[in-house]
Amino acid sequence: MEQITLSNQIVQYVFTGITVGSIYALVALGFNIIYNATEVINLAQGEFVMLGGLIMVFFITTLNLPLVVGFILTVLVVTAIGALFERLAIYPLEGASVLTLIIITIAASIFIQGLAMGIWGKDPYDLPAFSGRTPISFLGAMIQPQYLWILGITIVVVILLNLFFGRTMVGKAMAACADNPEAASLVGINVRMMVLFSFALSAAIGSIAGIVITPVSLMEFDRGPMLAIKGFAAAVLGGLGSFGGAVFAGFLLGVIESLFAGLVHSGFKDAAGLIVLLIVLFIRPSGLFGSTEVTKIKKF
Protein backbone atom coordinates (compact mmCIF):
# COMPACT_ATOMS: atom_id res chain seq x y z
CA MET A 1 0.00 0.00 0.00
CA GLU A 2 2.79 2.37 1.00
CA GLN A 3 4.61 1.53 -2.25
CA ILE A 4 1.61 2.44 -4.41
CA THR A 5 1.15 5.75 -2.62
CA LEU A 6 4.76 6.67 -3.26
CA SER A 7 4.56 5.80 -6.94
CA ASN A 8 1.31 7.77 -7.22
CA GLN A 9 3.04 10.70 -5.63
CA ILE A 10 5.93 10.42 -8.04
CA VAL A 11 3.56 10.44 -11.02
CA GLN A 12 1.97 13.54 -9.52
CA TYR A 13 5.35 15.24 -9.07
CA VAL A 14 6.44 14.36 -12.59
CA PHE A 15 3.27 15.88 -14.06
CA THR A 16 3.64 19.03 -11.99
CA GLY A 17 7.30 19.14 -13.01
CA ILE A 18 6.50 18.86 -16.71
CA THR A 19 3.97 21.66 -16.36
CA VAL A 20 6.42 24.02 -14.69
CA GLY A 21 9.12 22.70 -17.03
CA SER A 22 7.01 23.76 -20.03
CA ILE A 23 7.25 27.33 -18.79
CA TYR A 24 11.03 27.00 -18.34
CA ALA A 25 11.19 25.58 -21.85
CA LEU A 26 9.26 28.53 -23.30
CA VAL A 27 11.48 31.03 -21.48
CA ALA A 28 14.56 29.10 -22.66
CA LEU A 29 13.29 29.28 -26.26
CA GLY A 30 12.96 33.04 -25.82
CA PHE A 31 16.57 33.23 -24.63
CA ASN A 32 17.74 31.15 -27.58
CA ILE A 33 15.93 33.20 -30.22
CA ILE A 34 17.53 36.44 -29.02
CA TYR A 35 20.88 34.78 -28.35
CA ASN A 36 20.98 33.29 -31.84
CA ALA A 37 20.29 36.64 -33.46
CA THR A 38 22.47 38.85 -31.26
CA GLU A 39 24.56 36.83 -28.79
CA VAL A 40 22.80 38.87 -26.11
CA ILE A 41 21.36 37.11 -23.06
CA ASN A 42 18.24 39.10 -22.32
CA LEU A 43 17.96 39.12 -18.53
CA ALA A 44 14.56 40.80 -18.87
CA GLN A 45 13.15 37.67 -20.51
CA GLY A 46 11.17 36.79 -17.37
CA GLU A 47 9.41 40.17 -17.47
CA PHE A 48 7.71 39.20 -20.73
CA VAL A 49 6.22 36.20 -18.91
CA MET A 50 5.09 38.37 -16.02
CA LEU A 51 3.59 40.94 -18.42
CA GLY A 52 1.84 38.17 -20.34
CA GLY A 53 0.11 36.97 -17.19
CA LEU A 54 -0.84 40.40 -15.84
CA ILE A 55 -1.98 41.91 -19.17
CA MET A 56 -4.12 38.80 -19.69
CA VAL A 57 -5.64 39.50 -16.25
CA PHE A 58 -6.45 43.02 -17.45
CA PHE A 59 -8.21 41.77 -20.61
CA ILE A 60 -10.03 38.84 -19.03
CA THR A 61 -10.87 39.97 -15.49
CA THR A 62 -10.99 43.74 -15.85
CA LEU A 63 -12.44 44.05 -19.37
CA ASN A 64 -14.29 40.69 -19.36
CA LEU A 65 -13.16 39.82 -22.87
CA PRO A 66 -13.49 36.24 -24.16
CA LEU A 67 -10.48 33.95 -23.58
CA VAL A 68 -9.32 33.75 -27.21
CA VAL A 69 -9.59 37.50 -27.79
CA GLY A 70 -7.72 38.21 -24.56
CA PHE A 71 -5.04 35.69 -25.50
CA ILE A 72 -4.42 37.26 -28.92
CA LEU A 73 -4.50 40.85 -27.63
CA THR A 74 -2.09 40.00 -24.79
CA VAL A 75 0.41 38.39 -27.14
CA LEU A 76 0.18 41.39 -29.49
CA VAL A 77 0.71 43.91 -26.69
CA VAL A 78 3.69 42.07 -25.20
CA THR A 79 5.18 41.57 -28.68
CA ALA A 80 5.00 45.32 -29.18
CA ILE A 81 6.65 45.85 -25.78
CA GLY A 82 9.44 43.46 -26.82
CA ALA A 83 10.01 45.43 -30.03
CA LEU A 84 9.95 48.73 -28.14
CA PHE A 85 12.44 47.31 -25.64
CA GLU A 86 14.84 46.46 -28.46
CA ARG A 87 14.53 49.93 -30.02
CA LEU A 88 14.94 51.84 -26.73
CA ALA A 89 17.53 49.76 -24.88
CA ILE A 90 19.43 47.48 -27.26
CA TYR A 91 19.49 49.45 -30.53
CA PRO A 92 21.22 52.57 -29.10
CA LEU A 93 24.01 50.38 -27.68
CA GLU A 94 25.13 48.69 -30.89
CA GLY A 95 28.66 47.38 -30.48
CA ALA A 96 28.61 47.77 -26.68
CA SER A 97 30.56 45.42 -24.41
CA VAL A 98 28.97 42.30 -22.96
CA LEU A 99 29.09 43.90 -19.50
CA THR A 100 27.08 46.90 -20.74
CA LEU A 101 24.51 44.63 -22.37
CA ILE A 102 24.11 42.64 -19.15
CA ILE A 103 23.54 45.86 -17.23
CA ILE A 104 21.09 47.32 -19.73
CA THR A 105 18.86 44.22 -19.73
CA ILE A 106 18.94 44.18 -15.90
CA ALA A 107 17.95 47.85 -15.94
CA ALA A 108 15.08 47.12 -18.31
CA SER A 109 14.03 44.22 -16.10
CA ILE A 110 13.76 46.41 -12.99
CA PHE A 111 12.11 49.21 -14.94
CA ILE A 112 9.42 46.89 -16.30
CA GLN A 113 8.86 45.45 -12.81
CA GLY A 114 8.47 49.00 -11.52
CA LEU A 115 5.89 49.80 -14.20
CA ALA A 116 3.98 46.60 -13.44
CA MET A 117 4.02 47.38 -9.72
CA GLY A 118 2.69 50.87 -10.43
CA ILE A 119 -0.17 49.44 -12.49
CA TRP A 120 -1.06 46.23 -10.64
CA GLY A 121 0.42 46.71 -7.17
CA LYS A 122 2.19 43.99 -5.24
CA ASP A 123 -0.63 41.46 -4.97
CA PRO A 124 -0.71 38.23 -6.97
CA TYR A 125 -3.51 37.85 -9.53
CA ASP A 126 -5.47 34.78 -10.59
CA LEU A 127 -7.01 33.91 -13.96
CA PRO A 128 -9.82 31.46 -14.66
CA ALA A 129 -8.44 28.12 -15.89
CA PHE A 130 -9.09 27.57 -19.62
CA SER A 131 -11.45 24.62 -19.06
CA GLY A 132 -12.36 24.53 -15.41
CA ARG A 133 -10.55 23.20 -12.39
CA THR A 134 -12.01 19.69 -12.07
CA PRO A 135 -8.97 17.43 -11.75
CA ILE A 136 -8.60 14.46 -14.08
CA SER A 137 -7.50 11.19 -12.50
CA PHE A 138 -4.54 9.61 -14.29
CA LEU A 139 -2.32 6.75 -13.05
CA GLY A 140 -3.44 7.54 -9.52
CA ALA A 141 -2.46 11.20 -9.82
CA MET A 142 -4.88 14.12 -9.95
CA ILE A 143 -4.11 16.36 -12.89
CA GLN A 144 -5.46 19.86 -13.42
CA PRO A 145 -6.89 20.32 -16.95
CA GLN A 146 -4.76 23.46 -17.19
CA TYR A 147 -1.64 21.23 -17.04
CA LEU A 148 -2.72 19.66 -20.33
CA TRP A 149 -3.33 23.09 -21.87
CA ILE A 150 0.15 24.19 -20.84
CA LEU A 151 1.80 21.09 -22.29
CA GLY A 152 -0.30 21.26 -25.46
CA ILE A 153 0.35 24.94 -26.09
CA THR A 154 4.08 24.45 -25.48
CA ILE A 155 4.16 21.69 -28.09
CA VAL A 156 2.23 23.87 -30.56
CA VAL A 157 4.66 26.76 -30.00
CA VAL A 158 7.64 24.47 -30.63
CA ILE A 159 6.11 23.13 -33.85
CA LEU A 160 5.23 26.63 -35.08
CA LEU A 161 8.74 27.85 -34.30
CA ASN A 162 10.25 24.99 -36.26
CA LEU A 163 7.99 25.78 -39.22
CA PHE A 164 8.83 29.47 -38.91
CA PHE A 165 12.58 28.98 -38.96
CA GLY A 166 12.48 26.19 -41.53
CA ARG A 167 9.80 27.29 -43.99
CA THR A 168 9.28 31.06 -43.97
CA MET A 169 11.51 33.67 -45.59
CA VAL A 170 11.75 35.80 -42.43
CA GLY A 171 12.52 32.75 -40.31
CA LYS A 172 15.27 31.61 -42.67
CA ALA A 173 16.71 35.12 -42.72
CA MET A 174 16.80 35.13 -38.91
CA ALA A 175 18.50 31.74 -38.89
CA ALA A 176 21.05 33.10 -41.36
CA CYS A 177 21.82 36.03 -39.05
CA ALA A 178 22.36 33.56 -36.25
CA ASP A 179 24.90 31.65 -38.32
CA ASN A 180 26.83 34.60 -39.64
CA PRO A 181 25.54 38.18 -39.47
CA GLU A 182 28.12 39.59 -41.90
CA ALA A 183 27.36 37.01 -44.58
CA ALA A 184 23.64 37.52 -43.99
CA SER A 185 23.92 41.25 -44.52
CA LEU A 186 25.97 40.64 -47.69
CA VAL A 187 23.09 38.70 -49.24
CA GLY A 188 20.75 41.58 -48.50
CA ILE A 189 19.27 40.63 -45.15
CA ASN A 190 18.55 43.59 -42.90
CA VAL A 191 20.32 42.31 -39.78
CA ARG A 192 19.08 45.11 -37.49
CA MET A 193 15.52 44.30 -38.53
CA MET A 194 16.08 40.63 -37.69
CA VAL A 195 17.33 41.60 -34.24
CA LEU A 196 14.14 43.61 -33.76
CA PHE A 197 12.09 40.59 -34.89
CA SER A 198 13.96 38.31 -32.52
CA PHE A 199 13.06 40.46 -29.52
CA ALA A 200 9.43 40.70 -30.65
CA LEU A 201 9.17 36.94 -31.21
CA SER A 202 10.88 36.17 -27.94
CA ALA A 203 8.50 38.51 -26.09
CA ALA A 204 5.53 36.83 -27.77
CA ILE A 205 6.65 33.39 -26.59
CA GLY A 206 7.28 34.71 -23.09
CA SER A 207 3.80 36.21 -22.95
CA ILE A 208 2.24 32.89 -23.96
CA ALA A 209 4.09 31.23 -21.05
CA GLY A 210 2.71 33.88 -18.69
CA ILE A 211 -0.84 33.51 -19.97
CA VAL A 212 -0.96 29.73 -19.54
CA ILE A 213 0.81 29.52 -16.16
CA THR A 214 -1.15 32.24 -14.33
CA PRO A 215 -4.26 30.06 -13.71
CA VAL A 216 -1.97 27.49 -12.02
CA SER A 217 0.51 29.56 -10.03
CA LEU A 218 -0.90 33.12 -10.04
CA MET A 219 1.21 36.06 -11.20
CA GLU A 220 2.71 39.12 -9.53
CA PHE A 221 5.05 41.92 -10.57
CA ASP A 222 8.31 40.43 -9.25
CA ARG A 223 8.02 36.90 -10.62
CA GLY A 224 10.15 37.60 -13.68
CA PRO A 225 13.76 37.29 -12.45
CA MET A 226 13.31 33.80 -11.00
CA LEU A 227 11.58 32.62 -14.19
CA ALA A 228 14.36 34.19 -16.22
CA ILE A 229 17.14 32.42 -14.37
CA LYS A 230 15.32 29.07 -14.48
CA GLY A 231 14.72 29.54 -18.18
CA PHE A 232 18.37 30.42 -18.60
CA ALA A 233 19.30 27.26 -16.67
CA ALA A 234 17.20 25.26 -19.13
CA ALA A 235 18.76 27.05 -22.10
CA VAL A 236 22.29 26.33 -20.85
CA LEU A 237 21.50 22.76 -19.83
CA GLY A 238 20.11 22.11 -23.30
CA GLY A 239 23.02 23.86 -25.00
CA LEU A 240 22.64 27.58 -25.64
CA GLY A 241 21.05 28.16 -29.03
CA SER A 242 19.57 24.67 -29.36
CA PHE A 243 15.76 24.65 -29.54
CA GLY A 244 15.24 20.93 -29.01
CA GLY A 245 17.76 20.97 -26.18
CA ALA A 246 15.96 23.87 -24.52
CA VAL A 247 12.62 22.07 -24.51
CA PHE A 248 14.05 18.81 -23.20
CA ALA A 249 16.14 20.58 -20.56
CA GLY A 250 13.14 22.68 -19.51
CA PHE A 251 11.09 19.56 -18.83
CA LEU A 252 14.04 17.89 -17.08
CA LEU A 253 14.66 20.89 -14.84
CA GLY A 254 10.96 21.16 -13.95
CA VAL A 255 10.80 17.46 -13.03
CA ILE A 256 14.01 17.60 -10.97
CA GLU A 257 12.68 20.57 -9.01
CA SER A 258 9.29 19.04 -8.50
CA LEU A 259 10.71 15.70 -7.30
CA PHE A 260 13.13 17.52 -5.02
CA ALA A 261 10.34 19.63 -3.55
CA GLY A 262 8.11 16.61 -3.02
CA LEU A 263 10.62 14.07 -1.78
CA VAL A 264 13.42 16.09 -0.15
CA HIS A 265 12.62 19.65 0.95
CA SER A 266 10.06 22.02 -0.53
CA GLY A 267 11.75 25.18 0.75
CA PHE A 268 14.91 24.45 -1.22
CA LYS A 269 13.05 23.72 -4.49
CA ASP A 270 14.38 26.84 -6.24
CA ALA A 271 17.87 26.21 -4.90
CA ALA A 272 17.81 22.72 -6.49
CA GLY A 273 17.24 24.18 -9.97
CA LEU A 274 19.95 26.79 -9.45
CA ILE A 275 22.45 24.21 -8.22
CA VAL A 276 21.80 22.27 -11.42
CA LEU A 277 22.61 25.47 -13.32
CA LEU A 278 25.87 25.98 -11.39
CA ILE A 279 26.92 22.36 -11.91
CA VAL A 280 26.30 22.64 -15.66
CA LEU A 281 28.12 25.98 -15.89
CA PHE A 282 31.10 24.67 -13.93
CA ILE A 283 31.41 21.26 -15.54
CA ARG A 284 29.95 21.47 -19.02
CA PRO A 285 28.97 25.01 -20.05
CA SER A 286 28.18 23.76 -23.54
CA GLY A 287 25.20 21.86 -22.07
CA LEU A 288 23.92 18.38 -22.76
CA PHE A 289 23.55 18.83 -26.50
CA GLY A 290 25.69 21.84 -27.39
CA SER A 291 29.06 21.43 -29.01
CA THR A 292 32.09 22.60 -27.03
CA GLU A 293 33.61 24.07 -30.20
CA VAL A 294 30.66 26.39 -30.76
CA THR A 295 30.76 27.54 -27.13
CA LYS A 296 34.40 28.50 -27.51
CA ILE A 297 33.76 30.57 -30.59
CA LYS A 298 30.91 32.49 -28.97
CA LYS A 299 31.62 35.46 -26.73
CA PHE A 300 31.81 33.52 -23.48
Partner 1 sequence: MKQDHKILIFFFIALAAFPIIAHYIEGIQHYIDIMIFVGIFSLITIGLSLLMGYAGQVSLGHAAFFGIGAYTSAVLTGKYGFNPWIGFLVGIILTAAIAYVVGIPSLKLKGHYLAMATLAFGIIIFIVFNEWDTMTAGPSGFSDIPGISIGGYNLDSDIKYYGFVWTIVVLCLLFSINVIHSRIGRALRSIHGSEDAANAMGVNTSKYKLQIFVISAVYASIAGSLYAHYMNFISPSSFSLFFSIKLLIMVILGGGMANIWGAVLGTWTLMLLGAEWLHFLEEFEFLVYGAVLLLMTIFLPRGLIGLVEFLVSGRNKGAY
Please, which of residues 26-85 interact with partner 1 by CB under 8 A?
41, 43
CB 51 within 8 A of CB 233: no
Q: How far apart are CA 29 and CA 156, in angstroms?
A: 13
Q: Which residue among 7, 100, 190, 292 contacts partner 1 (CB under 8 A)?
A: 100
Q: Binding-site residue total for partner 1 (CB under 8 A)?
A: 43
CB of 176 to partner 1, least distance (A): 23
CA distances for 31 relative to 41, 74, 141, 240, angstroms: 6, 20, 33, 8
- Identify the residue among 11, 84, 110, 176 touching partner 1 (CB under 8 A): 110
When asked if residue 160 is in the footprint of partner 1 (CB under 8 A), the reply is no
From 124, 145, 262, 285, residue interacting with partner 1 (rule: CB under 8 A): 285
Assess 300 for contact with partner 1 (CB under 8 A): yes
Among 233, 234, 237, 259, binds partner 1 (CB under 8 A): 233
Candidates 145, 119, 147; CA nearest to 213 is: 147
Q: Please report whether residue 263 would count as binding partner 1 according to CB under 8 A.
A: no
In the chain, beta strands by DSSP E: 136-138, 141-143
Residues 166-205 that bind partner 1 (CB under 8 A): none
Given 103, 129, 176, 191, the residue binding partner 1 (CB under 8 A): 103
* Residue from 223, 252, 250 nearest 27 by CA: 250
**143 scored as a contact of partner 1 (CB under 8 A):** no
Q: Pick the closer one to partner 1 by CB: 76 or 117.
A: 117
Closest to 130 in 3D by CA, of 201, 208, 26: 208
Interacting stretch for partner 1, rule CB under 8 A, among 4-12, 19-27, 73-81, 101-109? 101-109
Closest C-alpha among 226, 211, 294, 225 to residue 257: 226
**Cα separation, 64 vs 70, whole angstroms:** 9
Binding of partner 1 at residue 292 (CB under 8 A)? no
Which lies closer to partner 1 via its Cβ, residue 12 or residue 109? 109
Q: What is the nearest approach in angstroms of partner 1 to the Cβ of residue 103?
A: 5
Cα–Cα distance measured from residue 36 to residue 240, given in angstroms and rounded to the nearest whole number: 9
Q: Is 229 in the site for partner 1 (CB under 8 A)?
A: yes
| Residue 18 CB burial class (10 angstroms; 0-12, 13-18, ≥19) | buried
Half-sphere exposure of 55 (CA within 13 A, CB side): 27
Closest to partner 1 by CB, 96 vs 136, is 96
Burial of 184 (0-12, 13-18, 19+ CB in 10 A): buried
Question: Which chain residues interact with partner 1 by CB under 8 A?
Answer: 41, 43, 89, 92-93, 98-100, 102-104, 106-115, 117-118, 225-226, 229, 232-233, 236, 265, 267-268, 270-271, 274-275, 277-278, 281-282, 285, 299-300
